[in-house]
Amino acid sequence: MKKETKIYIAGHRGMVGSAIWRALEAKGYTNLMGKSSKELDLRNQAAVKDFYATEQPEVVIDAAARVGGILANNSYPYQFLMENLQIQNNLIDGAHQSGIGKFIFLGSSCIYPKLAPQPLKEEYLLTSSLEPTNEWYAIAKITGVKACEAIRKQFDKDYISLMPTNLYGPFDNFDLETSHVLPAMIRKFHEAKESGNAAVELWGSGTPMREFLHVEDMADVVVFALENEFQDNLYNVGTGVDLTIKELAELIQQTVGHEGEIIWDSSKPDGTPRKLMDVSKMADAGWKAKIKLADGIKDTYQWFLENIDSFKQVKI
């Protein structure tokens, strides 16, 4: 991969896309491009085709998606299914039709069945039912994985899918209505601390187990995938280490300095009992995560404090 290769990063202003941009710049790549949603509506097939024809990127990294936690997925199932299908299908098919030979598709660990054996292996895909609270998003992402696999199989193009575990870090979404669990906890504990260490109410029982990957590690593996050719089409990306939601809450509480009570609302859904990624396939390819969770949470909380008046808000 030459440093002047023209690389289009879809979703370059998001948490993941911006981290990829920074990582590529740091590695000396000089021909990066991105378009805001106002400049290019990725849901519009004709607009995406015109973009490819005009700009002619050589590589596409798809970090664009409508994302959110359990509440957002439950509240807007149609948008989470249809908009993600539109975005990724336009990007994938447009790239293929334009003759682009390398495409990196970013998905999510939610593509795997709710009760799949742990840790989650790539071959568990489509072996059982999905978690109902985010199946709309998962179905869309599975379609993207299979589209890239089909292009790879039929046309022998280097289209690869990376499935990260739960991502977090600078530029995350801290909107309590649409955010994921880790940034939501950071905001809740911070605001409770500022309110005299008020009690913090959290969803579920605290017993489900989750794995978290810092977004800078995610960006690092994308660069690794860009600079290497993999033998297969689907790779898990994570740390291979998880913890309970209760343990996560206590770690964030300690990092923030909140000294109040934690109340668990067991009437709210827990989601999938466990989602630990088997990352041995990616390790065999030559990449492992580097950032420890405690260090990553400190880093993310510091960013939150520095940007507390302007952090990203996702509007439905």
Q: Output the known binding site for NADP(+).
A: 11-17, 106-109, 141, 164-167, 180
Query: Active-site residue 112, yes or no?
Result: no
What SS3 state is found at 123? helix
The Cα 84–Cα 89 span in angstroms is 8
Give the DSSP letter string of 262-306: EEEETTS----SEE-B--HHHHHHT------HHHHHHHHHHHHHH
State the Cα–Cα distance between residues 132 and 130, nearest whole angstrom.
Answer: 6
User: Which secondary structure element, helix H or strand E, spans residue 44, and what is its range?
Assistant: none
Q: Identify which of 166, 169, 170, 177 has the alpha carbon closest to the alpha carbon of residue 73.
A: 177
- Per the document, the length of the chain is 316
Residues in the annotated binding site for substrate: 188, 203, 210, 270
The tokens describing 275, both together, are 């989602």
DSSP 189: H
The one catalytic residue in 137, 159, 168, 235 is 137
The residues that are catalytic are 137
